[in-house]
Amino acid sequence: QALQAIAADLKNVAAQQKLTAASYDKTDTSLTALSKKSEELKSKLAAQQKQYDTLSKALKDYTSQQEKAQATIQKVQAQYDKEKAKLEQIAAQYGKQSQEYKNQAKVVDELEQQLKELNAQYEKNETTIKKTQAALTSSEADIKKTKTQMQDLGEKAQKAGQDAGKLGLAVENSGK
């Protein structure tokens, strides 16, 4: 849900950027236009950072859960191996038709089913972790791109400020 909310925020920021782009000519370097673009980039960066933080926390949580799942699988596997060895002993001692064997076979079957389910869930979680890692990498790239855009915009603003200063001097000098 948090990721959906962040995605909605990013769509909103993108819509604001389209509106600003439509409002200003691409070559418009007025300080007002640059200021508006700067605010939009700051908003976009904040949303992207929020998305990155959410993904980073989710990845940490998924990884922690996966480690616990691995430990559970190992415990169940050890129990399965122990119960299966016991089943083989019962088979040798009482035969495969005995009630003891049937009872132990049921225990082994249940553990085997539990292992299958745990392993299936583990694989599903691995896929989720890989997708989250990919989304995190993409989010990091988006942040870098936005920071570069902000840097470029800062350079344009500095140039526009210098141009405005030169214009002011020229106006001042022409009046003398």
Q: Measuring CA to CA, how many Å separate 77 from each of 70, 88, 91, 103? A: 10, 16, 21, 19
- pLDDT tens by residue, 67-93: 999 999 999 999 999 999 999 999 999
CA distance 45 to 37: 12
Answer for the pair 136, 60: CB distance below 8 angstroms, yes or no. Answer: no
Nearest to 74 by CA among 20, 41, 122, 11: 122
Mean pLDDT of 38-44: 89
With a cut of 70, say whether residue 142 has pLDDT above it: yes
| Angle made by CA atoms 115, 128, 43, in degrees to the nearest 5 | 155
CA distance 3 to 54: 7
154 falls in which pLDDT band (50, 70, 90)? confident
21-25, 29-33, 68-72: range with lowest mean pLDDT: 21-25
Answer for the pair 123, 35: CB distance below 8 angstroms, yes or no. Answer: no
48 falls in which pLDDT band (50, 70, 90)? very high
Output the pTM of the full model.
0.68
Question: What amino acid occupies position 174?
Answer: S
